[in-house]
Amino acid sequence: MIIKKMHEMGVRSEHAYMAAMASVGLSVAAWMGSLKVEPGTGLARADRWGIFVGEWAPTFFGLGLALSHYEQQDGTLTADVHEFRQPQKAG
């Protein structure tokens, strides 16, 4: 039901996959940022920030898979498939 509603709102599997990849990058940025902005709090706090943001990635990947499955059943999954053809020899 939630996946169908998300699909109807225009959310596609590619969006969820991009959000997952962005959360991985944000996790590293949050970890590094916490080390630099809050130097007195130590490595443990930076690790917690990085892990907190990093936990979003599996959720977004899971939503991407669920949306992809729904798109395959719904017939709205699009893919650019190019057929490879061997050049024909003359004569």
pLDDT in tens, 17-70: 999 999 999 998 888 888 787 777 777 878 888 888 889 999 999 999 999 998
Is the model's pTM score more than 0.75? no
- Is the separation of the CB atoms in 76 and 13 below 8 Å? no
Domain containing 45 equals 11-74
Task: Look at residue 54 in the predicted model and tell me its pLDDT.
Answer: 86
In a domain, 65, yes or no: yes
CA end-to-end distance (rounded Å), the chain: 59
Q: Is residue 81 part of a domain?
A: no
Evaluate whether residue 68 is within a structural domain.
yes
Please check whether residue 87 lies inside any domain of the structure.
Answer: no
Residues in contact with 9: Cβ distance below 8 Å, sequence separation at least 6, in sequence order:
none
Is residue 50 classed as helix, strand or coil in its secondary structure?
helix
30 neighbors 49 (Cβ within 8 angstroms): yes
* In a domain? residue 42: yes
Domain-located, residue 28: yes
Residue 2 lies in a domain: no
Q: Which residues contact 48 (CB under 8 A, 6 or more apart)?
A: none
Whether residue 34 lies inside any domain: the answer is yes
Total of domains in the chain: 1
